[in-house]
Amino acid sequence: MKKELTAEEYLNRVMTANVSDNCPMRRTLELLSGKWRTHIIYELCKKPSCRFGELKKAVPRITNTMLTSTLRDLEKLCIVRREQFNEIPPHVEYSLTEKGKALLPVFTELAKWGEAHLGE
Protein backbone atom coordinates (compact mmCIF):
# COMPACT_ATOMS: atom_id res chain seq x y z
CA MET A 1 0.00 0.00 0.00
CA LYS A 2 1.28 3.46 -0.87
CA LYS A 3 2.29 5.80 1.91
CA GLU A 4 0.09 8.89 2.15
CA LEU A 5 1.92 12.05 1.22
CA THR A 6 1.79 15.12 3.41
CA ALA A 7 0.96 18.41 1.73
CA GLU A 8 4.61 19.46 2.01
CA GLU A 9 5.88 16.22 0.46
CA TYR A 10 3.40 16.49 -2.39
CA LEU A 11 4.29 20.12 -3.06
CA ASN A 12 7.99 19.27 -3.06
CA ARG A 13 7.39 16.41 -5.48
CA VAL A 14 5.34 18.61 -7.82
CA MET A 15 7.94 21.39 -7.77
CA THR A 16 10.81 19.04 -8.65
CA ALA A 17 9.07 16.71 -11.12
CA ASN A 18 8.41 17.16 -14.79
CA VAL A 19 4.80 18.20 -15.24
CA SER A 20 3.12 15.85 -17.65
CA ASP A 21 -0.33 14.97 -18.89
CA ASN A 22 -0.08 11.86 -16.72
CA CYS A 23 0.09 13.91 -13.51
CA PRO A 24 -2.51 12.54 -11.05
CA MET A 25 -3.51 16.03 -9.92
CA ARG A 26 -4.04 17.23 -13.47
CA ARG A 27 -6.12 14.16 -14.34
CA THR A 28 -8.21 14.57 -11.17
CA LEU A 29 -8.87 18.23 -11.92
CA GLU A 30 -9.91 17.32 -15.45
CA LEU A 31 -12.28 14.66 -14.08
CA LEU A 32 -13.88 17.20 -11.75
CA SER A 33 -13.89 20.04 -14.27
CA GLY A 34 -17.07 21.25 -15.84
CA LYS A 35 -19.74 23.49 -14.46
CA TRP A 36 -21.97 20.75 -13.05
CA ARG A 37 -19.87 17.65 -12.29
CA THR A 38 -18.87 18.50 -8.73
CA HIS A 39 -22.37 19.71 -7.88
CA ILE A 40 -23.93 16.47 -9.14
CA ILE A 41 -21.35 14.35 -7.29
CA TYR A 42 -22.03 16.39 -4.15
CA GLU A 43 -25.79 15.80 -4.44
CA LEU A 44 -25.22 12.06 -4.96
CA CYS A 45 -23.03 12.01 -1.82
CA LYS A 46 -26.05 12.96 0.26
CA LYS A 47 -28.19 9.89 -0.53
CA PRO A 48 -27.62 6.26 -1.47
CA SER A 49 -29.43 6.87 -4.79
CA CYS A 50 -31.27 9.64 -6.59
CA ARG A 51 -33.76 9.84 -9.43
CA PHE A 52 -33.30 12.23 -12.34
CA GLY A 53 -36.07 14.55 -11.10
CA GLU A 54 -34.53 14.74 -7.63
CA LEU A 55 -31.19 15.71 -9.13
CA LYS A 56 -32.90 18.29 -11.33
CA LYS A 57 -34.51 19.89 -8.27
CA ALA A 58 -31.24 19.80 -6.33
CA VAL A 59 -29.39 21.57 -9.17
CA PRO A 60 -32.09 24.04 -10.23
CA ARG A 61 -30.23 26.02 -12.93
CA ILE A 62 -29.15 22.96 -14.91
CA THR A 63 -31.07 22.05 -18.06
CA ASN A 64 -32.38 18.53 -18.65
CA THR A 65 -29.98 18.14 -21.58
CA MET A 66 -26.95 19.22 -19.54
CA LEU A 67 -27.93 17.00 -16.60
CA THR A 68 -28.31 14.02 -18.92
CA SER A 69 -24.99 14.76 -20.63
CA THR A 70 -23.11 15.24 -17.35
CA LEU A 71 -24.56 12.05 -15.86
CA ARG A 72 -23.50 10.12 -18.97
CA ASP A 73 -19.98 11.56 -18.73
CA LEU A 74 -19.73 10.61 -15.05
CA GLU A 75 -21.05 7.14 -15.87
CA LYS A 76 -18.35 6.69 -18.55
CA LEU A 77 -15.75 7.76 -15.97
CA CYS A 78 -17.13 5.11 -13.57
CA ILE A 79 -18.01 7.75 -10.97
CA VAL A 80 -21.79 7.33 -11.26
CA ARG A 81 -23.86 4.17 -11.63
CA ARG A 82 -27.13 4.25 -13.57
CA GLU A 83 -29.69 1.62 -12.64
CA GLN A 84 -32.81 1.21 -14.74
CA PHE A 85 -35.89 -0.38 -13.20
CA ASN A 86 -38.19 -2.05 -15.68
CA GLU A 87 -41.34 -1.55 -13.68
CA ILE A 88 -44.55 0.27 -14.36
CA PRO A 89 -43.84 3.15 -14.50
CA PRO A 90 -40.18 2.60 -15.42
CA HIS A 91 -37.62 4.70 -13.62
CA VAL A 92 -33.87 5.22 -13.35
CA GLU A 93 -31.77 5.83 -10.25
CA TYR A 94 -28.26 7.21 -10.05
CA SER A 95 -25.73 6.52 -7.33
CA LEU A 96 -22.01 6.84 -6.74
CA THR A 97 -19.78 3.90 -7.56
CA GLU A 98 -16.98 2.87 -5.20
CA LYS A 99 -14.68 5.08 -7.29
CA GLY A 100 -17.15 7.95 -6.84
CA LYS A 101 -17.43 7.35 -3.09
CA ALA A 102 -13.63 7.51 -2.89
CA LEU A 103 -13.99 11.23 -3.74
CA LEU A 104 -15.82 11.89 -0.44
CA PRO A 105 -12.62 12.70 1.50
CA VAL A 106 -11.78 15.26 -1.19
CA PHE A 107 -15.16 16.92 -0.70
CA THR A 108 -14.64 16.82 3.08
CA GLU A 109 -11.34 18.65 2.73
CA LEU A 110 -12.93 21.21 0.40
CA ALA A 111 -15.67 21.80 3.00
CA LYS A 112 -13.05 22.27 5.74
CA TRP A 113 -11.18 24.76 3.58
CA GLY A 114 -14.42 26.61 2.83
CA GLU A 115 -15.31 26.85 6.51
CA ALA A 116 -11.85 28.12 7.37
CA HIS A 117 -11.41 30.61 4.52
CA LEU A 118 -14.79 31.68 3.16
CA GLY A 119 -16.72 32.46 6.32
CA GLU A 120 -20.48 32.66 6.13
Q: What is the DSSP string of 55-117?
A: HHHHSTTS-HHHHHHHHHHHHHTTSEEEEEE-SSS-EEEEEE-HHHHTTHHHHHHHHHHHHHH
**CB 94 within 8 Å of CB 55:** yes
Computed over every residue of the chain, the mean pLDDT equals 88
pLDDT value for 17? 67
pLDDT value for 2? 63
What are the residues whose beta carbons fall under 8 Å from the beta carbon of 19, sequence distance 6 or more?
Answer: 26
**CB 49 within 8 Å of CB 95:** yes
Which domains, ranges and CATH numbers included, belong to the chain?
Answer: 36-117 (1.10.10.10)
The mean per-residue pLDDT over the stretch 55-69 comes to 95
**CB 72 within 8 Å of CB 92:** no
**CB 45 within 8 Å of CB 59:** no
82 forms beta bridges with: 94
pLDDT value for 24? 78
Residue pLDDT, tens place only, 15-57 = 776 666 677 778 888 888 889 999 999 999 999 999 999 999 9
